[in-house]
């Protein structure tokens, strides 16, 4: 697989800043996709992302329990339903990226995800993520016997949360990973709807 040929994976400490005292919390309920107070909806454009258990900390940097049961990582299923992901203590989770979706011809599907902020003022969240992806010159081609429609069907594209651009809008046969990355980041930054997600995409590249 392409990720095994990459010379280095990218490990990043992801820190989500606390909500200021008096600042409004997200108005959306846990069953609503309309939240982006810690991290807006997006797909990772690489191959695979490894995640460890998140830590919540107070203003003094001390670890504290997550007192907001709705805060944390959410993913969207292939059917478009909202799932709150709770990685157990000491656990390790993986998210599929869009490059793995292409290289598998759609057998694997990228995981749309977002992070909902806590309603508790002064509490931040940190986690460690390792982003695995191919070399920049790796071809972004589908396997023999798989089609463009297999890679992202119309129904799968329709199930994406608002603000997540369909794969077909950024990827085409003949691209390499570097070109796909450039087009993906360009779309996030160059459209008003993607400005917030662009900050995330850049940080995760």
Render pLDDT for 65-100 as a digit per residue (tens, 0 to 9). Answer: 999 999 999 999 888 889 999 999 999 999 999 999
Render pLDDT for 60-69 as a digit per residue (tens, 0 to 9). Answer: 999 999 999 9
Rounded Cα gap, residues 131 and 49, in angstroms:
5
Q: Average the pLDDT over each of 12-16, 18-22, 103-107, 162-166 and give the range with the smallest value.
A: 18-22
Q: Which of 93, 91, 103 is nearest to 45 (CA)?
A: 103
Instruction: Indicate yes or no: pTM above 0.85.
Output: no
Distance linking the first and last C-alpha atoms of the chain: 19
Q: What are the angstrom distances between the C-alpha of 7 and each of 10, 47, 49, 132, 170?
A: 10, 14, 16, 10, 25
Residue 198: pLDDT band by 50, 70, 90 thresholds? very low
Q: Which of 34, 127, 122, 26 is nearest to 86 (CA)?
A: 127
Give the residue-averaged pLDDT of 147-154.
88
């Amino acid at each position: 697989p392409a990720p095994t040929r990459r010379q280095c994976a990218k490990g990043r400490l992801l820190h989500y800043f606390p909500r200021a005292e008096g600042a409004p919390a997200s108005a959306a309920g846990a069953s609503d996709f309309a939240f982006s107070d810690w991290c807006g909806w997006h797909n990772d454009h690489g191959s695979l992302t490894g995640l460890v258990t998140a830590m919540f900390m107070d203003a003094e940097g001390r670890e504290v329990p997550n007192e907001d049961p709705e805060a944390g990582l959410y993913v969207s299923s292939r059917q478009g339903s909202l799932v709150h992901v709770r990685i157990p203590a000491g656990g390790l989770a993986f998210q599929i990226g869009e490059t793995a979706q292409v290289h598998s011809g759609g057998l694997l599907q990228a995981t749309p995800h977002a992070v909902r902020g806590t309603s508790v003022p002064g509490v931040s969240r940190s986690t460690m993520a390792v982003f695995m992806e191919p070399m920049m010159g790796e071809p972004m081609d589908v396997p023999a016997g798989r089609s463009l429609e297999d890679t992202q069907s119309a129904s799968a594209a329709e199930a994406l949360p608002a603000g997540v651009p369909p794969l077909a809008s950024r990827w085409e046969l003949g691209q390499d990973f570097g070109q796909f990355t450039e087009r993906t980041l360009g779309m996030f930054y160059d459209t008003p709807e993607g400005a917030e997600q662009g900050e995330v995409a850049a940080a995760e590249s």
